[in-house]
Structure 1
Amino acid sequence: MDVKQKKVILWSPPRCLSNVFYRSIMTLKKTKCIRNLFSGPYYFGPNRTSHLYPPLLDSQLDLEGLLVKDLTYEKMKTLLTADYSNEDLVFIKDHPYCLPESLYQDLISGPFANFTHTFLVRDPERALYSNYKASSSQQLIGCNLNPPGGGFYEMYEFYNFIKEKQGTTPVIVDAADLQTYPDETMKSYCKAVGIPFDPNMTSWEPVPLHVHYKVLIGWNQQVNQSTGFVKTKPEEQKPVPLHELPSDVVKCIEDSRVYYTEMRKDCIRPLF
């Protein structure tokens, strides 16, 4: 294996622009991009944690020739640490809420010891409002948010685990910076993790992202149609209509704000 190869994981709650971030990294040459593998064992595997979706059919799975019975955390770890030695960068995007706490140590040791863990956060008002609208459009019966808690607590717990065990503060990006200064923020991220920045990585041609679990395809509509980061100044964004949201979503926003605020303190800044 080429010792110069970089291996980077981006962790975030849903609806924090992580798919757009992932699409940006896809523009880099000699890069293996892998997305949301841990959703498999969490939602659909033989020991799945969530029963939000109906059981997945083998015909609805498109992942390395696997069957639904193969959707285990051990199998996902094997796929993530496979030999991609022909690539300069292995970039992985996933959600911490899909991880059992028992898996945390595995993701910083053994074949994962040389992975760089990074995080993407977003103001919970905007992330969870988007999550609520997306969950509603997916017709997830009895669920205003997917996951029900929004995913901020699990992200914060995993972030603190990484910070404590590795003795350094992981790289964190705020989605608001991506929207305000996309080039400068991606440049800062690339420098922080040691990967090349390409001036073309904030705009692209629309390309449908590959979806391993076909019942989740509806969550990708916006990024599939995107042509780059939508540059928007904070003062130009419409206020989130909190009065339109169910009480449990409003409470989740309030509960999640403390985790966002703490992580926001450590966010990298755009590089001008």
Structure 2
Amino acid sequence: MNDSDSLRKKRVILWAAPRSLSSVFYRSIATLNKTKHFQELFFGAHHFGPVRQNKQLHKLEKDSEIPPGLYAEGVTEVKDLTYEMMKNILAADHPGVELVFSKEFAYCLPESMWEGVISGKFADFNHTFLIREPEKVLYSNYKAPKPQPCIMPAPDGGLHELYKFYQFVKEKKGVTPIVVDAADLQAYPDETMKSYCEAIGITFDPNMTSWGKGFTSPFTYTATGPAEADKWNVNLYQSTGFIKIKPEEQKQVPLHELPSEVVKCIEECHVQYMEMWKDCIKPSPL
């Protein structure tokens, strides 16, 4: 990679919690040319790798249980599902591309590794954040069919880790991270993605919010049952673009359907959500 390639290339991670519209955000970025995009690299290390943190899911014992290209080129053996391997994949040169992008779940990265993803070979990465109202995140998580909830960190669905990592980045980097609210993404998809592109220094393309069918996900949730969890992405990958929902049309969450401990968690996470919301970028006029 020559010096001009190095100066031109952008490296961006979108940190989120599950059920925050992060997959459709990823799908939007995947429409761009000259982009190397990844989806949830640290998920594999957290749930299935040699030092996995989640013991609830089936442990991968055979290399044959990893579908080709599940996480990235070269990850074909269970022993490769390590945090260090995932970091190496992200930080690689990836010649010929102008944007290296990955959407990740903050809860999948141990706090002991936070410093390592904002310094050294990760010093030039732009850490951005996607937030969503806790009631919508946790309601969606709670109502998800089995066995999917077992991949979520209880009881806050990864929201607490997202907030803590956001604070860490803000303090250590000394800058206000780019934050996007999923409500804006639903109500104003073009304007919101345009604003995000401007913030990370790339050109917005109208095709980022409307696309053709036939996109193949590089990621499927393995070992959680017979393709059950992959149903999460079926509608997305058969879609042709964002489904625009105006603010007044967005449904209220029936909190009465949730256990008291989930409602309490929503109330606690809402304080953190509002702190991050203050840093949200605004949808840009087209």
* Alpha carbons 1:150, 1:252 under 8 Å: kept: no
Tell me whether 1:132 sits opposite 2:142 in the alignment. yes
2:21 is equivalent to residue 17 of structure 1: yes
| Identity over aligned pairs, percent | 57
Letter in 2 for 1:244: E
Unaligned runs of 5+ in 2: 224-228
Give 2:217's match in structure 1, choosing from 191, 209, 212: 209
What one-letter code is carried by the residue in structure 2 that aligns with 1:155?
L
1:239-263 deviations in Å (ceiling 9; x for gaps): 2111112233222212211111110
- Find 1:32's aligned residue among 15, 19, 36: 36
Which amino acid counterpart does residue 210 of structure 1 have in structure 2?
P
Moved over 6 A (4+): none
TM-score (norm. length: structure 1): 0.93
In 2, the alpha carbon distance for the partners of 1:133 and 1:210 equals: 25
Q: What does the per-residue CA deviation read over 1:190-237, in whole Å, with 9 as the maximum and x for residues that have no partner?
A: 001101100111011232311165235343223222221111012112
| Structure 1 residues not aligned, in runs of 5+ | none
| Counterpart residue type for residue 66 of structure 2 | L
Counterpart amino acid of residue 222 in structure 2: K
Residue in structure 2 matching 1:60, options 62, 65, 83: 65
The whole-number CA distance in structure 1 between the counterparts of 2:271 and 2:160 is 9
Q: Is the 8 A contact 2:56 2:150 kept in 1?
A: no
Deviation of 1:145 (Å): 7.6
- Shift of residue 112 of structure 1? 0.7
- Secondary structure of the residue aligned to 1:85 is coil
Which of 217, 232, 244 matches 1:231? 244
Rounded to whole Å, the distance in 1 between the matches of 2:174 and 2:158 is 24
Q: Is the 8 A contact 2:75 2:81 kept in 1?
A: no
Report the counterpart of residue 185 of structure 1 in structure 2: 192
Please provide the CA RMSD for this pair: 1.6
1:45 corresponds in structure 2 to 49
Which of 172, 175, 181 aligns to 1:168? It is 175
The amino acid across from 1:152 in the alignment is L
Within the candidate set 129, 146, 168, 1:119 is matched to 129
- Equivalent pairs, count: 268
* Post-superposition offset of 1:181: 0.7
Change over 3 Å in CA distance of 1:106–1:205 after alignment to 2 = same
SS in structure 1 of the partner of residue 207 of structure 2? coil
Segment drifting more, 62-71 vs 102-111:
62-71
Instruction: Label 1:222 to 1:127 Cα distance change in 2 as closer, same or farther (>3 A).
Output: farther
Per the normalisation by structure 2, the TM-score is 0.89
Q: Relative to structure 2, which stretch is displaced further, 243-252 or 16-25?
A: 243-252
Equivalent pair of 1:144/1:249 in contact (CA under 8 Å): no
Q: Is the 8 A contact 2:20 2:132 kept in 1?
A: yes
Distance 1:126 1:212, change over 3 A: closer
Q: Deviations over 1:132-163 (max 9, x none)?
A: 222xx1325xx578121211110111111111
